Chains A and B, each alone.
Chain A
């Protein structure tokens, strides 16, 4: 038995508070999980994406900031593929910013994203893919994550609930990143060792949409141009596999109405336009699409110059999907939209003059 240490208290030490040890332990667990989460985020930020498509969001925001009076096109990939801003600029004399991107970002984000940049005299043209009205207004958290990661300024367009959902997608995206990196390495190693041919990689490379959907595919207005003059061999037009029932999604109409009211108060004109649609697709969903058009027309906050049926195109004018136009369709649709905008302003161009976009941005 050892002698008592005089430095130690002679009386019994007070019992630890109930659960104190446990809470210390749980605090360590929380810290460990937080460190792991930060590691995953760091991994995601520090390793490059498989393509740089989402970075185009920065380009579009740069264009939004560059003009005092402008036409802003709000929508998805139908705008990216199907708009030649130069045509609209020539007709309207207004600089055009095309916000269209591929991905399911949701009505809320697409409207909130542009709000801070809109001022008196601006024109907003809304042209969502038809099914966007039927899908959840909060969009895909995964796609939102990719955009907000590439352009953190867009985080302010998200609600707290959306932010939480986006944060929850980090594991999935990090996991997909790992799979891509490992897959590339495995194929390369297999090829070097002669164990496997790069047949899958070659096959993908033959028609990988990464050729089209990348940052360098966009011009300064935000139009995608990399698909122009390109034909996908043996390709038939696609539509989404799991189209929702074409019923207006909860909250969609109120979001649009509130947006229109707010813009009206600011002196911004809101024009409702429509995505181009391949003829058979439109006919399959005509009742719902025309019904939505009727709702917009009944609301004076919206100017809806042409019905959706005006934006129906033959399959020969499409690129890869029922919404994506090729070069020929794009030119026709752009001119139609330009005329529609002028029509809203009773035939007069909404702006007095417009300099070419590239010049304006470089200023």
Chain B
């Protein structure tokens, strides 16, 4: 049940209407019931799985908290993490390992005995697994374990953030659930604006850009460097609008019920370095990786190496984990590793670069210097996107090998990507301008404040935005082929 489907609209309306009719003290129970329905809607088995993971984590957390010392706590923590990671690996990564082994067997001209596994990936398994791990580690580190299983289950399954995050921390969400928030008009208006902006990002911008990107990435053999570069440039905005749109819808949906989820994006394409990019992109994941992978790695005492070297290795490992978390494919692992390498190399070259910037007087032109850094960062992010978006590793390698071609006919190659669909492309470019314009103005123009002072303007903006969604959203035709009537 995606956020931009009619099913979700009906579900959300029904949940909200009943929610506010109930006494405040029992609303969380209704949200829990709605969240379980939401999750079980597509595949009831997944519901059993998530409930089992939730129940086990709840039990382990109580035991960890009750354990007398650190060693005893650790003895409970590791099996719990092993079970959660095992569940994730089994359902998400087994087909990947199976296919990797098959490739190795094929290379050795040996027969591989196991068939292809076409398993359905449980929705949101990566998100809720990370959330449960963070909860257990936090309890291990001293966080008070949740006493009510129902409240804990809502923390895990709360439907706005269940499928694609943000990866909420217990210390943020659990107290809010216990606080049993009521309705607040100003907050609700803000929530609606967030939802509408999210839908614009997803349906008007991301989905509009998608066909141009797909045309190149789904037909790599026919593409050249210009087309790949242009499609990748477009993809950068598609994925940002898509994910940020989804996150805003999640934040808005949760906010309507009174729950504030953490922000996941902070103008990522205005980052001045790759490190800065990761502080702005998928913030909930980055902070999770920092707290539960990177930091523990830098504190390990098994390998006796210099702290700086340890930190660089930890950084690299953390990004490989990040890539693997994103998807069970070599392309994602390579993508993560490339980002790790970017950061490691930039840290190693930091002093030399600073010397160069001073010598070349770049720092005397701060605006230009900043724009240059933003441009370079965006370029590096785009290069890595080739790995992220490519359908296979072979495709990605082919694309990198083709990157130098086609530049002698730049305009005509761009035109090929546009494909004569000027209106669609015009709307896509307009969407990118709106997307980046909003980021540019973020913090400079206080729309929330203006809408709060004059709600009528806020409502008018929402009305205009809904009309824009209907008129400019990338809605596709129903299953029928007889489109002879011209619109």
Q: Which residues of A contact B (CB under 8 A)?
A: 18-19, 21-26, 28-29, 32-33, 35-37, 39-40, 43, 49-51, 53-54, 77, 102-104, 140-143, 146-147, 168-180, 182-183, 186-187, 190, 196, 200, 209-210, 213, 240-242
Q: Which residue of A lies closest to B465 (CB)?
A: A36
Q: Which residue of B lies closest to A77 (CB)?
A: B484
Contacting B183 at CB < 8 Å: which of A19, A103, A196?
A19
**Which residues of A are found within 8 Å of B17, using beta-carbon distances?**
23, 26
Q: For the complex, give the distance between the alpha carbons of A18 and B24 in Å.
A: 9
**Which residues of B are found within 8 Å of A146, using beta-carbon distances?**
485, 487
**Which residues of A are found within 8 Å of B22, using beta-carbon distances?**
18
B423 in the interface (beta carbon within 8 A): yes
Contact A103 B482 (CB under 8 A): yes
Contacting A242 at CB < 8 Å: which of B6, B21, B481?
B481
Contact B470 A40 (CB under 8 A): yes
Output the residue of B423, B426, B473 with the most chain A CB within 10 A: B423
Q: For the complex, give the distance between the alpha carbons of A37 and B192 in Å.
A: 17
Q: For the complex, give the distance between the alpha carbons of A310 and B188 in Å.
A: 67
Please report which residues of chain B, range 161-210, place their CB below 8 angstroms from some CB of chain A when the two chains form the complex.
Answer: 183, 185, 188-189, 192
Q: For the complex, give the distance between the alpha carbons of A57 and B423 in Å.
A: 30
Contacting A36 at CB < 8 Å: which of B423, B426, B463, B478?
B463
State how many angstroms separate the Cβ of B373 from the closest Cβ of chain A: 33
Contact A179 B470 (CB under 8 A): no
Contact A18 B481 (CB under 8 A): no
Q: Which residue of B lies closest to A175 (CB)?
A: B475
Contact A49 B463 (CB under 8 A): no
Contact B459 A21 (CB under 8 A): no
Q: For the complex, give the distance between the alpha carbons of A28 and B185 in Å.
A: 11
15 CB-based A-B contacts, threshold 8 Å? A19-B20, A19-B21, A22-B16, A29-B192, A40-B471, A50-B486, A51-B486, A104-B482, A140-B480, A171-B471, A172-B477, A173-B487, A178-B472, A183-B421, A183-B423
**Which residues of A are found within 8 Å of B185, using beta-carbon distances?**
21, 24-25
User: Count of A-B contacts with CB under 8 A?
Assistant: 131
Contact B462 A54 (CB under 8 A): no
Q: For the complex, give the distance between the alpha carbons of A51 and B486 in Å.
A: 6
A175-B471 contact in complex given A103-B485, A104-B480, A146-B485, C-beta closer than 8 Å: yes
Contact A169 B478 (CB under 8 A): yes
Q: For the complex, give the distance between the alpha carbons of A174 and B426 in Å.
A: 17
Contact A43 B426 (CB under 8 A): no
Please report which residues of chain B, range 443-473, place their CB below 8 angstroms from some CB of chain A when the two chains form the complex.
Answer: 459, 462-463, 466-467, 470-473
Majority secondary structure of chain B interface residues (helix, strand, loop or mixed) = helix
B310 in the interface (beta carbon within 8 A): no
B290 in the interface (beta carbon within 8 A): no
Contact A183 B485 (CB under 8 A): no
Size band of the B side of the interface? 35 or more
State how many angstroms separate the Cβ of B414 from the closest Cβ of chain A: 12
**Which residues of B are found within 8 Å of A104, using beta-carbon distances?**
480-482
Please report which residues of chain B, range 4-33, place their CB below 8 angstroms from some CB of chain A when the two chains form the complex.
Answer: 6, 16-17, 20-23
Add 20 more A-B contacts to A32-B463, A171-B470, A187-B422 (CB < 8 A).
A18-B23, A19-B20, A22-B183, A23-B20, A24-B185, A28-B459, A29-B192, A37-B470, A49-B485, A51-B485, A102-B482, A103-B484, A104-B481, A142-B477, A176-B487, A178-B423, A179-B423, A179-B487, A182-B426, A182-B427
B370 in the interface (beta carbon within 8 A): no
State how many angstroms separate the Cβ of A232 from the closest Cβ of chain B: 15
Contacting A172 at CB < 8 Å: which of B183, B467, B475?
B475
B483 in the interface (beta carbon within 8 A): yes
**Which residues of A are found within 8 Å of B467, using beta-carbon distances?**
36, 39-40
Q: For the complex, give the distance between the alpha carbons of A182 and B185 in Å.
A: 38
B420 in the interface (beta carbon within 8 A): yes
Contact B423 A180 (CB under 8 A): yes
**Which residues of A are found within 8 Å of B462, using beta-carbon distances?**
32
A33-B475 contact in complex given A51-B486, A103-B484, C-beta closer than 8 Å: no
State how many angstroms separate the Cβ of B392 from the closest Cβ of chain A: 28
Contact B484 A209 (CB under 8 A): yes
A143-B487 contact in complex given A182-B423, A187-B422, C-beta closer than 8 Å: no
Output the residue of A25, A51, A147 with the most chain B CB within 10 A: A25
Contact A186 B426 (CB under 8 A): yes
Q: For the complex, give the distance between the alpha carbons of A103 and B6 in Å.
A: 26
B424 in the interface (beta carbon within 8 A): yes
Q: Which 3 pairs across A and B sit closest by C-beta, in order of nearness?
A: A50-B486, A183-B423, A22-B20
Q: For the complex, give the distance between the alpha carbons of A187 and B427 in Å.
A: 14
Q: For the complex, give the distance between the alpha carbons of A147 and B485 in Å.
A: 9
Contact B420 A200 (CB under 8 A): yes
**Which residues of B are found within 8 Å of A35, using beta-carbon distances?**
463
Contacting B188 at CB < 8 Å: which of A22, A50, A179?
A22
State how many angstroms separate the Cβ of A40 from the closest Cβ of chain B: 5
Contact A174 B470 (CB under 8 A): yes
Q: For the complex, give the distance between the alpha carbons of A177 and B467 in Å.
A: 14
Contact A143 B420 (CB under 8 A): no
State how many angstroms separate the Cβ of B429 from the closest Cβ of chain A: 11
